[in-house]
Amino acid sequence: MNICVIGAGYVGLTTAAVLSDCGHYIDCVDINHERIAMLKKGVVPIFEPGLEEIISKNIENNHLTFSTKVKEKIDENPIIFITVGTPSLEDGSPNLTYVKLVVDDIANSITSHKTIIIKSTVPPGTNEEIYNMFIEKDVDPELFDIVSNPEFLREGSAVKDMLEPDKVVVGIKRPEPVQVMQKIYQQIHAPYIVTSLTGAEMIKYASNAFLATKISFINEIARICDAYEVNVSDVALGLGTDPRIGPLFLRAGLGYGGSCFPKDLQGLTYAAKKKNIHPELITSVQNVNDMQIDIYLKKLKSAIPELKEKQVTVWGLSFKPDTDDTRYSASIRLIEKLLEEGATIHAYDPVVKLDHPEIICHSNAYEAVKQSDALIVATEWNEFKEINWLKVKESMDGNIVLDGRNIIDPRIVRHAGFHYLGVGQL
Ligand code: NAD
Ligand code: UGA
């Protein structure tokens, strides 16, 4: 099938790579010239395990091309995936400008049938609005189909998640495009959830809200565990064995970050308020998350009351491991607060290299801790699970370790001479 994917970000590139690998012919377009120039050379501008190999292979066998000629590629392809960004605006609502610009481009030039598949995360009602944009421009309803096909991949495992999804959600206005979707995803085996356009949008928002709720729930439990000297990991294990609860997304830590959970919970709250619904639970989930860094900064200050002029090392800058994405990273938010307290920040991340005037970035974990007074593990990269703690202790001036992701064995660090602080972890 001939498919145009609009937007070459985390979702667009993964969609383009996977669908080209399934045998389709994909034109992936983006307005970012620098990004497309890199991709044409087979260089992937984001860190996503396995992506570069699939992209190189499919550029070579002519199943995947990259271009900045958005309008031209829209004209040439009968199937169009929209995967552009929908970042939060000041008021919490998602910025739909990028999606609507693309929709305008399609509606203004449409002469043959197009199946337009919206993968970008958009608030309830947006796909109906998109449908109406076509009607208002007098486009014949027989000439286009709008499909809401939200994406559930996680950064760091995007390729695997897209190849092996739990489900394919298809929101439609009429039944015909379901077969088109089944043909596109012929090699991807998953149950189909077919619903209305708005139903699909709600499934996506509700999924992210529920996952964020699990995280804030366990983080609140961790605070209580801290007070009662109980290990939250034991509690999570006990909770997770109940199949009604499940073991995933019960890792306590510095809170959730990334380009999606914070944005989508804000977006859902905004959408609810527009209809005079005040979502108490979802608001609390966000409040718990917003407070998490302050609570564990306070725990650090119980060990080092005065952070001014102290050397603090932070391991991990990305919002989660196996990605270079720092959008709404808990680590960066924590660093900003430490800088406000007057601390000098040394940082190391296996992938992210920050160009920040106030953060001294190092090229390895051991170098980053030299002469430091305290060390904070902010992202759970595997590398930090295999550290030689005696070597770290020899390099550091101080002995404080705040394990913001509960990935270190407290017995090992204590044995090396450290004062260990965890998140609901003894
Ligand atoms: P991103 O910021 O990485 O990429 C978006 C891309 O779209 C950018 O490269 C940008 O240049 C391009 N773009 C913007 N306007 C354009 C236009 N008019 N024409 C062509 N290209 C244009 O975004 P992302 O992380 O891939 O997210 C995309 C959407 O998917 C968002 O709505 C997000 O909520 C959703 N989503 C993201 C993830 C994730 O893990 N990142 C997972 C599921 C869903
Ligand atoms: C999340 C969802 O998991 C995807 O299904 C969804 O498609 C995506 O958002 C999206 O809509 O963009 P992602 O943000 O890539 O994916 O990463 P997650 O693995 O969900 O982690 C999000 C944040 O939660 C990270 O900061 C992570 O450290 C934190 N987290 C996760 C915890 O603090 N505890 C956990 O138990 C799990």
pLDDT in tens, 161-177: 999 999 999 999 999 99
What 8-state DSSP symbol labels residue 383?
A: G
| 202 CB near ligand 1 (under 6 Å) | no
Instruction: Look at the chain and count its residues.
Output: 426
- Ligand 1 center to 102 CA (angstroms): 12
| 35 CB near ligand 1 (under 6 Å) | yes
Q: Which residues line ligand 2 (CB under 6 A)?
A: 121, 151-155, 208, 211, 215, 249-251, 253, 256-258, 260-261, 319-320
β-pair partners for 315? 348, 377
What pLDDT, on a 0 to 100 scale, did the predictor assign at position 273? 97
Q: What are the Cα distances from residue 317, in Å, to 28, 61, 314, 351? A: 29, 36, 8, 9
- Closest-CA residue, ligand 1 atom 14, reads 84
- 47, 127, 259, 324, best to mutate for ligand 1 pocket (most atoms within 8 Å of CB): 259
From the alpha carbon of 150, which atom of ligand 1 is closest? 44
Q: How far apart are CA 272 and CA 261, in angstroms?
A: 16
β-pair partners for 148? 118, 171
Q: What are the Cα distances from residue 232, in Å, to 166, 253, 257, 271, 426? A: 28, 10, 20, 34, 9
- Closest-CA residue, ligand 1 atom 42, reads 153
What pLDDT, on a 0 to 100 scale, did the predictor assign at position 397? 97
| 315 CB near ligand 1 (under 6 Å) | no
From the alpha carbon of 219, which atom of ligand 2 is closest? 33
Q: Which residues of 262-274 are buried (b: 16+ CB within 10 A; e: fewer)?
A: bbbbbbbbbbbee
What pLDDT, on a 0 to 100 scale, did the predictor assign at position 35? 98
Q: How far apart are CA 412 and CA 251, in angstroms?
A: 20
From the alpha carbon of 84, which atom of ligand 1 is closest? 7
Q: How far apart are CA 85 and CA 232, in angstroms?
A: 36
Per-residue pLDDT of the chain (426 residues; tens, 9 = 90+): 999 999 999 999 999 999 999 999 999 999 999 999 999 998 999 999 999 999 999 999 999 999 999 999 999 999 999 999 999 999 999 999 999 999 999 999 999 999 999 999 999 999 999 999 999 999 999 999 999 999 999 999 999 999 999 999 999 999 999 999 999 999 999 999 999 999 999 999 999 999 999 999 999 999 999 999 999 999 999 999 999 999 999 999 999 999 999 999 999 999 999 999 999 999 999 999 999 999 999 999 999 999 999 999 999 999 999 999 999 999 999 999 999 999 999 999 999 999 999 999 999 999 999 999 999 999 999 999 999 999 999 999 999 999 999 999 999 999 999 999 999 999
From the alpha carbon of 156, which atom of ligand 2 is closest? 15
| 7 CB near ligand 1 (under 6 Å) | yes
End-to-end Cα separation, the chain, in angstroms: 56
CB atoms within 10 A of CB 93: 18
Smallest Cα–Cα separation from 28: which of 57, 2, 60, 61? 2
CATH code for 222-426? Answer: 3.40.50.720
- Ligand 2 center to 154 CA (angstroms): 6
- Ligand 2 center to 334 CA (angstroms): 18
CATH fold of 2-190: Rossmann fold (3.40.50)
| 48 CB near ligand 1 (under 6 Å) | no
β-pair partners for 6? 29, 82
Judged by phi (left if over 0) then psi (alpha if -120 to 50, else beta), residue 92 lies in left
**Within 13 Å and on the Cβ side, how many CA atoms surround 156?**
16
244 near 264, Cβ under 8 Å?
A: no
- Ligand 1 center to 284 CA (angstroms): 27
210 near 279, Cβ under 8 Å?
A: no
Query: Which numbered ligand comes closest to the C-alpha of 211?
Result: 2
Q: What distance lies between CA 188 and its chain's CA centroid? A: 22
What pLDDT, on a 0 to 100 scale, did the predictor assign at position 394? 97
Smallest Cα–Cα separation from 108: which of 134, 87, 144, 81? 134
- Ligand 2 center to 320 CA (angstroms): 8
Lookup result for tokens 């043909």: 183
> Does the annotation mark 22 as catalytic?
no
Tokens of 205: 């928002």
Taking each continuous run of H as one helix and of E as one strand, the counts in the chain are 16, 14
What pLDDT, on a 0 to 100 scale, did the predictor assign at position 23? 97
- Closest-CA residue, ligand 1 atom 1, reads 9
Q: How far apart are CA 180 and CA 65, in angstroms?
A: 22
What pLDDT, on a 0 to 100 scale, did the predictor assign at position 319? 97
Q: Where in the chain is the domain with CATH 3.40.50.720?
A: 2-190, 222-426
105 near 71, Cβ under 8 Å?
A: yes
205 near 268, Cβ under 8 Å?
A: yes
Q: How far apart are CA 367 and CA 332, in angstroms?
A: 20
- Closest-CA residue, ligand 1 atom 2, reads 85
For residue 376, report the phi and psi dihedrals to the nearest 5 degrees.
-120, 130
| 350 CB near ligand 1 (under 6 Å) | no
221 near 231, Cβ under 8 Å?
A: no
| 11 CB near ligand 1 (under 6 Å) | yes
193 near 165, Cβ under 8 Å?
A: no
pTM of structure? 0.97
